[in-house]
Amino acid sequence: MHTVTANGVTIPALGFGTFRIPGSDVLKIVPHALKLGFRHVDTAQIYGNEAEVGEAIVTSGIQRRDIFLTTKVWVENYKREAFLKSVDESLAKLKTDYVDLLLLHWPNDKVSLAEQISALNDVKEAGKVRHIGVSNFTTALMAEARALSKAPLVTNQIEYHPYINQDVVIAAAKAADMSVTGYFGMADGKVFSDPVLKDIGANHGKTVAQVVLRWLVQQDGIIALSKTVSEARVAENLAIFDLNLSRDEMAAIHALAKADGRIVSPDGLAPSWDKVA
């Protein structure tokens, strides 16, 4: 498995995401994904499936130490006491005494960022979390979070697919030796009818999903989250490391980005996003 190193931490570059996957499906598909070779699993408190992710890891037969497990604290739990309690609850659901990576899920200015980052560091120092990071943070918030944190931040998990230009955030992450973890890689299904992506796939004998995942992980410092409830597609999503996109193909995919390409920007959660240079 291809890996990304960020602030000294090695992270599998292809993760299995569980957003919007019901618990019953998690119990079936996550053990299958792990048996086929996935070693990075991503969940969150708000997904409502941490317990099933934990059960799936146990039943997979893969040793916990061999799996990079990420979860995220929800914005309503950012006050220190609620934060610490929620992490303990997540660990109990996940049937583990630590997670490899804990993220702040979205910015929330109702609680000071200093309090949020302090709590992140506290659970890390307590050994409940090996590494910490953020999600959906702008470059300004990334810089503020880094300045407040004793421990290095290892990723910013953001929406990233061919229709959104994230160069500004990626450059800031790279300068800080952070990775970027891309979610919504398939642009909520929009990629599958794209003629540019279909043509590139046909040239390589690969599916559009494989082309997009490869485009993501072929970029320096980028981690991609794949997601499916189909056993056949799990195997397809893993079969991207024998594919090398040419410089022209990479550029053609980057050129698909649009000014209005962002899909995920929920009211009450979304910050004032960075403008593309």
Q: What residues act catalytically? A: 47
Backbone angles phi, psi at 55, to 5 degrees: -65, -40
Give binding residues for substrate as ranges.
Answer: 105
**Among 17, 64, 63, residue whose Cα is nearest residue 41:** 17
What is the spatial distance between Cα 19 and Cα 49, in angstroms, rounded to a whole number? Answer: 9
Q: Are 172 and 144 in contact (CB under 8 A)?
A: no
Give binding residues as ranges.
Answer: 105
CA 169 to chain CA mean position, Å: 15
Q: What is the DSSP letter of 272?
A: -
Backbone angles phi, psi at 13, to 5 degrees: -75, -20
What is the spatial distance between Cα 235 and Cα 231, in angstroms, rounded to a whole number? Answer: 7
